[in-house]
Amino acid sequence: MTGMTGMKAPSFERLSDMDEKYARALDRLRTVKNSALKGGGKEKVDALHASGRLTARERIDLLLDDDTFVEHNLVIGHLEGLPCDGLVAGHGTIHGRPVCVYAQDSTVKGGSIGPMHGFKMYRTIEWALQMGVPFIGLHESPGARIPDMGTSRSVFGEAMEKHGGAVFFPNTQASGVIPQVSGIMGSCAGISVYSPALTDFIFMVDKKSHMFITGPAIVKAVTGEELSKEDLGGAGVHCVLSGVADGRFASEQDLLAGIRELMTYLPQNADERPPYLDLGDDPERPTDELMDIVPSDASKAYDVRDAIACIVDAGRFFEVKPEFACEIVVGFGRLAGEVVGVVANQPSCLAGSLTVDSSDKQTRFMRFCDCFNIPILLLVDTSAYLPGKDQEHRGIIRHGAKVLYALCESTVPRVGLVLRKAYGGGNLGMGVIPAQAGTDMMFYWPITELGVMGAKASVELFFGEAIAKAPNPEETRAALMREYEDRYANPLREASYNPFINDVIEPGETRRVLVKAFAFLSTKRKRPTYPKKHGNMPV
């Protein structure tokens, strides 16, 4: 029988041959893929589990929605006996929304970065950028792989070797375009710490995660100093002291759940708004309990997190860098279902003073919010910048200028509320002066104290000698403080001639007022700027 093309139809013998060929090919394919799925093998996986750690695939399974992971380049590295070249990469969904993800596999060459490993990292971020979806990297790697000089390489493999470092390029290109999140699942050194450092958020596991440029052995060889991994670059170091990391979790499972929770507040990319989520909290709910949370005496401490929980929907607040620069609190909450980024002074730490570290923390968070269309709520209760030689020598001028830069370049809706006090430079650093910082709306509570410094400090400075000579110094001091507060620190007086103060409100009105303010500002347009490549921020 001859077909329309003139070609003969295959004989039954030929079909039989093709079936056998298919069978061999499918068997070979399945063998290669099944081998790749086992990573470095049962012995190494068992050792990983014995240490209380998860495999790369188990981590991805916990991170993503069930049965949504689609893997790329599964068979890479099989000829060299390096399953997936030590990197599991692909895409899936979190809460039904697509993300791109990779996880370094420490059972294959310790998770070190070889040519194909680096290329897969590069390509995963590039996919995320091209698709406009978040990127999540789960890291555990000692750094660049030491080449095996006895192994021949393809020209393509040699060309791709550069991608261990070239991954920084897509990280940088993606910055401000898509959210980028890093989970440090084990020890990372050298080149392996820089890609996470270029992402928006870094989470670590307590006692199991480490980040350092040079490990303890090299430190000892060069300086003679003996340090453990934990002392050199553990989660405690980077979450409390250096500020490199944004959150410390008790387990890998908790860390992955933390990333999933973070994603509920973030848009897919810079062209979208954050996801709306109705938590069933009445936008008109009164907040009278704020008067119990915030003492009227400006010298008394309280935890501003309690005030935040009272204001936001259902008390849910996702804090960022909770252990670093505790004098300021930043994180995500919702008002009437819409995401807001909260920046609040913490009176229970350094009286809510602004510092070198708080400036870095505040600036980075506000710039992230501005990148991804997240309105900013400023809750102000600060005694101004922390004075002293230490802060001046560490460059508080330069670091404080970062905050002003971030405030002035911000385009998202921004609302400020002075809870209790705003002294001196704190007015600048917290955007209290709208005409200078561009804050869209400003509200005061009736107990707000304003001025260069507090009433007590001002009275002592200007009237200290008169008080000391008075027949009754304490009564004189108290009378002068009342007069100073009425004349200079009175929010009603300030609001009577300052058109940038939208209102003086009762604490019980706080939530309702803020909800309405952000609802009105939701259609705010970006103001025009001068054409330029980019500004020269004081980093």
CATH number of the domain enclosing 155: 3.90.226.10
Looking at the structure, tell me whether residues 308 and 192 fall in a common domain. Answer: no
Looking at the structure, tell me whether residues 194 and 124 fall in a common domain. Answer: yes
| Number of CB atoms found within 10 A of residue 502's CB | 18
> Which residue stretches of the chain have pLDDT < 50?
1-7, 149-152, 155-163
> Is 15 within the bounds of a domain?
no
What SS3 state is found at 147? coil
Any alpha helices (H) in 224-355, and if so which ranges? 229-233, 235-236, 252-263, 290-293, 304-311
* CA atoms within 13 Å, Cβ hemisphere of 10: 8
Looking at the structure, tell me whether residues 244 and 340 fall in a common domain. Answer: no
How far apart, in whole angstroms, are the C-alpha atoms of residue 444 and residue 379? 10
pLDDT at residue 1 in the model? 41
pLDDT at residue 526 in the model? 82
Closest CA to 243 of 211, 216, 213, 207: 211
Tell which of 213, 246, 263 closes a domain.
Answer: 263
Closest CA to 514 of 266, 371, 506: 506
> Is 379 within the bounds of a domain?
yes
Q: Are 423 and 449 in contact (CB under 8 A)?
A: yes
pLDDT at residue 5 in the model? 43
Q: What would the DSSP string read from start to end of 27-72?
A: HHHHHHHHHHHTTT-HHHHHHHHHTT---HHHHHHHHSPTT--EEE
Instruction: Note down the domain range covering 131.
Output: 36-263
Looking at the structure, tell me whether residues 310 and 384 fall in a common domain. Answer: yes
| Number of CB atoms found within 10 A of residue 244's CB | 18
Give helix then strand counts, H and E, for the chain: 23, 16
Query: And the tokens for 536?
Result: 């020269």
Residue 178 per-residue DSSP state: S
How far apart, in whole angstroms, are the C-alpha atoms of residue 38 and residue 30? 13
pLDDT at residue 324 in the model? 98
Q: Are 162 and 119 in contact (CB under 8 A)?
A: no
Q: Which neighbouring-strand residues pair with 95?
A: none
Residue type (1 letter), 59: R
| Number of CB atoms found within 10 A of residue 530's CB | 5
pLDDT at residue 424 in the model? 83
Closest CA to 355 of 311, 310, 395: 395
Instruction: Specify the number of domains making up the chain.
Output: 2
What SS3 state is found at 97? strand
Q: Which neighbouring-strand residues pair with 466?
A: none
pLDDT at residue 16 in the model? 58
Looking at the structure, tell me whether residues 362 and 434 fall in a common domain. Answer: yes
Q: Are 112 and 141 in contact (CB under 8 A)?
A: yes
Looking at the structure, tell me whether residues 78 and 192 fall in a common domain. Answer: yes
How far apart, in whole angstroms, are the C-alpha atoms of residue 265 and residue 89? 24
> Is 358 within the bounds of a domain?
yes
Looking at the structure, tell me whether residues 232 and 332 fall in a common domain. Answer: no
Q: Which residue has the tokens 């387990």?
A: 251
Element (H, E) at 130: helix 115-131
Looking at the structure, tell me whether residues 395 and 494 fall in a common domain. Answer: yes
| Number of CB atoms found within 10 A of residue 342's CB | 25
How far apart, in whole angstroms, are the C-alpha atoms of residue 502 and residue 443? 6
Predicted TM-score of the model (pTM):
0.90
